[in-house]
Amino acid sequence: MESYARGETGPALLEETIGGNLERIVAERGDREAMVEFATGRRWTYAELDRDVDDLARGLVAAGIEKGDRVGIWAPNCAEWTITQYATAKIGAILVNVNPSYRTHELAYAVNQSGLRMLVSAESFKTSDYRAMVEETASDSPRLDRVVYIGTSDWDELVASGRDLPESTVPDRMAVLRPDDPINIQYTSGTTGYPKGATLSHRNILNNGFFTTELLGFTEVDRLCIPVPFYHCFGMVMGNLGCTSHGATMVIPAAGFEPETTLRCIEAEKCTGVYGVPTMFIAMQNNPTFPDVDLTSLRTGLMAGSPCPVEVMKRCVNDMHMAEVGIAYGMTETSPVSTQTRMDDDLERRTATIGRVHPHVEIKVVDPVSGETVERGEPGEFCTRGYSVMLGYWEDPEKTHQAIDADGWMHTGDLAEMREDGYANIVGRIKDMVIRGGENVYPREIEEFLYTHPDIEDVQVIGVPDERYGEELCAWIRMRSGADPLDAEKVREFCTGKLAHYKIPRYVMLVDEFPMTVTGKIRKVQMRQETAERLGLTEEKHA
């Protein structure tokens, strides 16, 4: 059977704008709690949230923001981030998510490439002085008319400026918007070159947020703890839009991820779900306060962003009471989710796969060279098609055409296998696949095996240059607290007889952390470079 699957066609796609969907939910559930900011204790009902969204939307109109204008947001998670998200959507401005980790060079690129007219920014976060960086780059951004700092008089003045506009201002703007209009630009965290601005529509992200939480059984009684960043799809789509499209409650535990704060937030706010990348769940489960926190309110959540260790997932189910926890897979360019496990899936499917095709979406696995769909069980490139595929990369038709083929298929660059039951596994990135002495080696398989070692907390496997075999394997290992350190010989002993000889890592490096993007994706390119330098290996690959 071919590696192709089509998702369910019910319930129907939401043919609404984000603002229209929010207003419908407000009309139905205005008195229910919409948003909680745990750090400050601020709370909003749906009616109150909609009021604040409309106030900001009128302020943006008064500031001269037109439909299609780009408004950037550069801030960690906070209530104002969410309010800005919905206010820009109501007036048809395109929200540009700026990564909170950016420095001046990256900020200037995002501001100028997207053509920002306004930037809504925090003043600072952790070691980042946003105001200083904005002042340093503003003179090189001729289209940027205004910067508004959250928590200052700037914000208050922006909101106040719209109070004299007629009540019809926002409804009039909403009346001319269409679901397929672009509404969001997200810069993908590429490992090489400049990031690309994935341009997403109301239809893209509203539906993806809705169906992601629909598959988790969300209703208006759910309360979702969202420690993942809003600037990425995980936070603003799967989190915020997933909640508001069901009338559920968005709970913001902190500006950035803090394991202990997240645990306390879940307990205090009686959250029914929590999102995270695997490293977040590992950090929560290994936090000293973990055994003392009451997590019995939890029932569900999502793990995504990078492959999940089986043991971590088991602890989510057994120790965090997340019996209905799911795995999701996707990418920014697909709004983001393409596959997801289901609530009634057995433990094996919810620990060993990335789920099956999402509603209203098609997926297939193709030979990276020929483009032909491969048989189930064979590895190939994962492709997806449907409402969720982005409109394109902002002002970059060449890269858009490289990613989306003539038939509308988004080529992800991920290597996957589709099982006979339609569930899929990611076996690596095309660029991460290691070719050792002519053998194709998928690091994910070796990582999953090494996770079973009782002293290994986390592990990543990469290919490094080798004179004889072209590439050799190196395992970066993070040890459990108090465990005796492993070396290459001990790892080889553990693997011998269980893995084919060519899959056994030749090199072992013990580390405290892995280089990552802020979305939790491991930067294996950087790991390869560091390993080659530390081991004195030539970067040249030999056939």
Q: What is the CATH number of the domain that holds 520?
A: 3.30.300.30
Residue 429, domain member (yes or no): no
Does residue 395 sit within a domain? no
Element (H, E) at 147: strand 146-149
Is 103 a domain residue? yes
CA-wise closest residue to 220 among 70, 63, 60, 31: 31
DSSP annotation of 259: H
In a domain, 445, yes or no: yes
**Does the pLDDT at position 188 exceed 90?**
no
Specify if 456 maps to a domain.
Answer: yes
Decide if 243 contacts 224 (C-beta within 8 A). Answer: yes
Q: What is the mean pLDDT of residues 394-401?
A: 96
What does the pLDDT look like over 123-151, one tens digit per residue?
999 989 999 999 999 888 999 999 999 99
Question: How much of the chain, in percent, has pLDDT values that exceed 70?
Answer: 97
pTM: 0.86
Q: Is the pLDDT of residue 191 over 60?
A: no
pLDDT tens digits for range 199-253:
999 999 999 999 999 999 999 999 999 999 999 999 999 999 999 999 999 999 9
**Average pLDDT in the 469-483 region?**
93
Report which of 227, 254, 228, 224 is spatially closest to residue 242, judged by C-alpha positions: 224
Say if residue 543's pLDDT is above 70.
Answer: no
Please indicate, yes or no, if residue 488 is contained in any of the structural domains: yes
At 67-84, the pLDDT tens digits run 999 999 999 999 999 999
User: Among 519, 518, 517, which Cα is nearest to 527's?
Assistant: 517
Domain end call among 178, 198, 223: 178
The CATH number given to whatever domain includes residue 165 is 3.40.50.980
Q: Domain boundary residue among 162, 178, 194?
A: 178
User: Average pLDDT in the 467-488 region?
Assistant: 92
Q: Which structural domain, as residue segments, surrounds residue 477?
A: 434-535
**Structural domain contains residue 221:** no
Cis peptide before 229 (omega within 30 of 0): no
Query: Residue 365: inside a domain, yes or no?
Result: no
User: How many domains are there within the chain?
Assistant: 2
From 114, 144, 178, the end of a domain falls on 178
**Is the pLDDT reported for residue 49 higher than 60?**
yes
User: Contact 471/434 with Cβ under 8 angstroms?
Assistant: yes
Which pLDDT score is estimated for 190? 52
The single-letter code of the amino acid at 397 is: P
In the predicted structure, residue 351 carries a pLDDT above the cut 70? yes
